Structure 1
């Protein structure tokens, strides 16, 4: 193994390890926390760390440790769902356009181009608060605005793959288009889709955090890292715990998925990884 390969594998392993630690903290932390995220201690407003409240309390008496773990769980859930959904949508639309060609290709790519010229963040900020459904609708809106660039890459690769002998043979034997795409096209795109999904987790987390910070994302009584950062920034100088812990988890989550995504991308592209 060359030095470049070792660096790639170490970077991917570091991202995967950090991501596993974050998920472990988010899933197991509430089990050992002295307080629940939705509990209010009316005898502890804006208190510092203590045996009862490990990272102190907010100005409304809520436990910072439990509250931030709840927010991190929400943000990670949004990131994972949006990444998988947007990459899956890109795979389906791109493969359909590239394999079918003709009018189907033109219509699907016209739709992708139309969405690409729209300011995605502003569209999400306008749509998400006005549609009923809360968090699931927010995730659906984000996923619907993140698939276009990858769909174009999938389409280009599908156009090339559909001319290969094994694909032509399957079509000649009368195999249906969905089965040909599923068995002979999409497996060749697995590396592209895996890298895209991993990197999209970070993009989705940041997008949700930004929307929630501005009041367009996660709605009370639920919380996310974005809402906690917005709530804690006003008192960050005198009482840093609510702001610092949420901001730190947000940075670590994005760093973890970016390390994993970059490591996977370089592993699938030896020329890039060896630089």
Structure 2
């Protein structure tokens, strides 16, 4: 009988042409040809030696001496098992501490803050008490450390009070104004479309307002306290920074992590709070320092012109403005507040330079982290 079988007969019996005969396990799938020899090889048929890649995966399967191999590899190379990851905040603080100018500025700022808080302890005079026996007395007269003004008020007590008020205004404006700018600038840039156009229109309108005249009229009609001046400077001190933050946010809103947060259903304010503002945090920190410096200069200028802090309250700008016309007769009234003001501005300038270098990864002034 011929070994050739009709394919139609095989199909009728439910067999597939070319399939092995169950009664003959040694039968090849294909006729004996060079191509069939490679196809019907033991490795392709599931028998024979295990390929190297498969053997490697089997040997390193979970639970089969994987821990021992990793421990022996770590011991051979001498690499540590755990690698400590230093946070970004720690790196910035290390660079800031290694900057000698920044450390000097922080020490100076701490000293002037302590002077404003506790400088008048042990002084029998306050900033509003009048010593009628010592009108315009020089420093050291009858217990007056740095003298008195023409009304007999102790200058040391006024310097402590004025320094505290100037620092309060500077810190309030320097911290609150950048935060308002960050929220407003990121919001209008993140939303885009019509809301961004309306927000920019409002921002441009506020920038065109004559804020100096508005502050002068408001302070003149309300009595001119330090807290009111801080509120007014904050209201008109955030618009310029908001425009810069808006431009920065426009580039951040197209980044992959923002788009992923949107697809995951995170709200707009959640994205702004968790992703946008933290990515401009370094810029905000630097602007807080610079804004504090600018606020104390603005307060000094307004008080010097008589539209800032007014009596009975005291500020450094007010003291400088009152003593400017009496410089030749009472020089201590002028140089006292000038030295305090210069101390504050110098310390803030040093801290600001140190913060800029610490936040800049390309700067080498702070050394390696």
- TM normalised by structure 1 equals 0.91
Secondary structure of residue in 1 paired with 2:153: coil
Aligned length: 272
Please point out which of 323, 330, 339 is paired with 1:248: 339
Say if 2:224 and 2:309, in contact at 8 Å, map to a contact too.
no
Say if 1:78 and 1:204, in contact at 8 Å, map to a contact too.
yes
Listed as ranges, the matches of 1:23-172 within 5 Å are 23-50=113-140, 52-131=143-222, 134-172=225-263
Shift of the 272–152 alpha-carbon distance from structure 1 to 2, 3 Å rule, reads farther
Please report how far the alpha carbon of residue 8 of structure 1 lies from its aligned counterpart in structure 2 after TM superposition: 8.1
Please report how far the alpha carbon of residue 35 of structure 1 lies from its aligned counterpart in structure 2 after TM superposition: 1.6
CA RMSD, 1 decimal: 2.3
Deviates more, 1:121-130 or 1:240-249: 121-130
1:207 aligns with 2:293: no
Q: Provide the rounded CA distance (Å) in 2 between the counterparts of 1:32 and 1:188.
A: 48
Deviates more, 1:241-250 or 1:262-271: 262-271
Please report how far the alpha carbon of residue 34 of structure 1 lies from its aligned counterpart in structure 2 after TM superposition: 3.2
Q: Which residue of 2 aligns with 1:188?
A: 279
Q: Provide the rounded CA distance (Å) in 1 between the counterparts of 2:233 and 2:329.
A: 35
Q: Provide the rounded CA distance (Å) in 2 between the counterparts of 1:126 and 1:58.
A: 28
Higher relative CO (CA 8 A, sep ≥ 6), structure 1 or 2? 1
Q: Which residue of 2 aligns with 1:224?
A: 315
- TM normalised by structure 2 equals 0.69
1:239 aligns with 2:344: no
Say if 1:35 and 1:52, in contact at 8 Å, map to a contact too.
no
Unpaired segments ≥5 residues, structure 2: 1-94
Structure whose residues are more often helix by fraction = 1
Larger Cα Rg: Structure 1 or Structure 2? 2
Shift of the 259–109 alpha-carbon distance from structure 1 to 2, 3 Å rule, reads farther
Deviates more, 1:6-15 or 1:136-145: 6-15
